Chain A
């Protein structure tokens, strides 16, 4: 892939990891676990 696209992808992954960390912290606060089986409320 061209260098510019690769750099963009790396940048996206970087921010993505930060966001996943933030979300995992919030999951820990709300559910005291990272098990996604708790999250089954939104349906239909």
Chain B
């Protein structure tokens, strides 16, 4: 249903680029998306799982977690886009007709992500993830200058190479499961696979899992496959960076999680994939310390912070204790909200100052007090400072180290997180409280504060977790740990 909404919206955007038309069509599409998505979420929560078209589309607790993240972030980002892109056109950075292409690819992108989380088939998940790469390539290169071309070229090449690894992995799995489930769609269905998991050929499954983890890992942005990520995030228009970082990385991680919960039930055992994820996570954190401390570009800073948070998530899922996985699931939700919010706030800041260089943005608090407040809260949220929800989820993930006797790794992770916190604080304090430059145009309306709604949610979830949410997250943990 909502995939249809996204496809229709994408096509509808091609008709006209008038301001009122775009606002109308986007508004209608967002309302339809939210209603149909919300209905699916509700049905799934009531029945435990929900299917459509005799099982061709299928949702369980993990799918609807991603579905809710996509819907919240898409609503927020598209509403911001309408204002942001209008401003870009007014400043003569783009001709108005190009907005058609912008919204077409944007909705196509949302549609492919919805496909990824709605299908129960590992093959179609692959098709969807490759679709997200293609849909975002031209969005990354939207400004058509030299740097944008460089970033989008790097993105499409690295993304496609990674994704062909994942295709190879899917092929190996198909070869392994074909004899048991027949050479049809069922052989890649993650509902049917666990039943035959213990009989699958060990060598083929091991190769398949390795290829799939590395391949999708490129899209998640694990070190050392993260090279495309900061370039794409820094060159794309800010609303697109928010979507890339808030939901695309999580969708790729979702593909890994489906493989993970399958691999846990094969003869490989739960430790094999857990160790891969854990090493990806620690490596990502370790490398990010250096680049975050020395960063000069504020959007690249946020992009690297995305790599860091994907590392934290990988650690949580890799540790594999129910509590750590609960923390990681919670962190996935909170990180998506915080990061989307921060990219949007920084995007509007960049539009005001006209630069992405950290050392040229100074005294934000004095000139634009509302944006400054949002930025300060964003800083506290993204670094996991209490009372924000991210503190709670990171703490729960870290506690997993000590219940599984990984004391050294736990110590290192805490050290890395502290250093990253210091780096963020250093950059942001200068931006917020330095001496403002003369040429800034001061003044903004109080409505800017409306941009902070997702952060408000993160703050709320740090203070209080509703019973219903806790139950839903516990179900997600069950799905991930493989008790389907």
Which residues of A line the B interface, CB within 8 A?
1-2, 4-5, 8-9, 11-12, 15-16, 19-20, 22-23, 26-27, 30-31, 36, 39, 41-42, 44
Which of B151-159, B200-208, B243-251, B386-394 lies on the face that meets chain A? B151-159
User: What are 30 sample pairs from A and B whose C-beta atoms fall under 8 A apart?
Assistant: A1-B123, A1-B174, A2-B183, A2-B188, A5-B127, A5-B170, A5-B185, A8-B123, A8-B127, A9-B130, A11-B127, A12-B134, A15-B134, A16-B130, A19-B156, A23-B137, A23-B141, A23-B152, A23-B153, A27-B153, A30-B145, A30-B146, A36-B153, A39-B146, A39-B149, A39-B153, A42-B231, A42-B234, A44-B294, A44-B296
Complex CA distance for A42 and B131, rounded to whole angstroms = 25
Whether B156 and A2, one on each chain, are in contact in the complex, defined by CB atoms closer than 8 angstroms, is no
Complex CA distance for A22 and B171, rounded to whole angstroms = 30
Say whether B147 faces chain A, with CB atoms less than 8 Å apart: yes
Besides A1-B123, A22-B138, A26-B141, 4 new A-B residue pairs in contact (Cβ under 8 A), listed by A number: A2-B188, A5-B124, A23-B152, A44-B291
Closest residue of chain B to A36, judged by CB?
B153
Q: Which 4 A-B pairs have the closest CB atoms?
A: A8-B127, A5-B123, A39-B150, A12-B130
Whether A20 and B123, one on each chain, are in contact in the complex, defined by CB atoms closer than 8 angstroms, is no
Q: Could you tell me which residues of chain B, from 76 to 99, have a CB within 8 Å of some CB in chain A?
A: none
Whether A42 and B147, one on each chain, are in contact in the complex, defined by CB atoms closer than 8 angstroms, is yes
Closest residue of chain A to B300, judged by CB?
A44
For residue A42, which residues in chain B have a CB less than 8 angstroms away from its CB?
147, 150-151, 154, 230-231, 234-235
For residue A16, which residues in chain B have a CB less than 8 angstroms away from its CB?
130, 134, 156, 160
Whether A20 and B149, one on each chain, are in contact in the complex, defined by CB atoms closer than 8 angstroms, is no
Complex CA distance for A42 and B235, rounded to whole angstroms = 10
With A1-B171, A5-B127, A9-B167 given, is the CB distance from A26 to B149 under 8 Å?
Answer: yes
Complex CA distance for A15 and B187, rounded to whole angstroms = 27
Per DSSP, chain B at the interface is helix
Give the Cβ gap from B326 to chain A, nearest Cβ, in Å: 33
For residue A27, which residues in chain B have a CB less than 8 angstroms away from its CB?
149, 153
Chain B positions 205 through 236: 1 when the CB is less than 8 Å from some CB of chain A, otherwise 0:
00000000000000000000000001100110
Complex CA distance for A17 and B235, rounded to whole angstroms = 22
Range for the number of chain B residues in contact with chain A: 35 or more
Complex CA distance for A12 and B155, rounded to whole angstroms = 16
With A4-B185, A5-B188, A44-B294 given, is the CB distance from A19 to B134 under 8 Å?
Answer: yes
Whether A4 and B123, one on each chain, are in contact in the complex, defined by CB atoms closer than 8 angstroms, is yes
Complex CA distance for A23 and B138, rounded to whole angstroms = 8
Say whether B266 faces chain A, with CB atoms less than 8 Å apart: no
Give the Cβ gap from B37 to chain A, nearest Cβ, in Å: 22
Complex CA distance for A23 and B184, rounded to whole angstroms = 36
Complex CA distance for A8 and B127, rounded to whole angstroms = 6
Closest residue of chain B to A11, judged by CB?
B127
Indicate which residue in B126, B152, B235, B296 contacts A5 across the interface (CB closer than 8 Å). Answer: B126
Say whether B144 faces chain A, with CB atoms less than 8 Å apart: yes
Say whether B475 faces chain A, with CB atoms less than 8 Å apart: no
Interface centre among A5, A20, A44 (most CB of B within 10 A): A5
For residue A19, which residues in chain B have a CB less than 8 angstroms away from its CB?
134, 137-138, 156
Complex CA distance for A8 and B167, rounded to whole angstroms = 12
Complex CA distance for A2 and B171, rounded to whole angstroms = 10
Whether B147 and A41, one on each chain, are in contact in the complex, defined by CB atoms closer than 8 angstroms, is yes
Give the Cβ gap from A31 to chain B, nearest Cβ, in Å: 7
Give the Cβ gap from B436 to chain A, nearest Cβ, in Å: 27
For residue A1, which residues in chain B have a CB less than 8 angstroms away from its CB?
123, 170-171, 174
Indicate which residue in B138, B149, B184 contacts A30 across the interface (CB closer than 8 Å). Answer: B149
Indicate which residue in A4, A5, A12, A41 contacts B150 across the interface (CB closer than 8 Å). Answer: A41
Complex CA distance for A30 and B235, rounded to whole angstroms = 16
Give the Cβ gap from B140 to chain A, nearest Cβ, in Å: 10
Indicate which residue in B124, B151, B154, B170 contacts A4 across the interface (CB closer than 8 Å). Answer: B124
Give the Cβ gap from B456 to chain A, nearest Cβ, in Å: 34
Give the Cβ gap from A14 to chain B, nearest Cβ, in Å: 10
Whether A9 and B127, one on each chain, are in contact in the complex, defined by CB atoms closer than 8 angstroms, is yes
Give the Cβ gap from B129 to chain A, nearest Cβ, in Å: 9
Interface centre among B150, B234, B294 (most CB of A within 10 A): B150
For residue B145, which residues in chain A have a CB less than 8 angstroms away from its CB?
30
Closest residue of chain B to A24, judged by CB?
B153
Complex CA distance for A22 and B142, rounded to whole angstroms = 12
For residue A9, which residues in chain B have a CB less than 8 angstroms away from its CB?
126-127, 130, 167
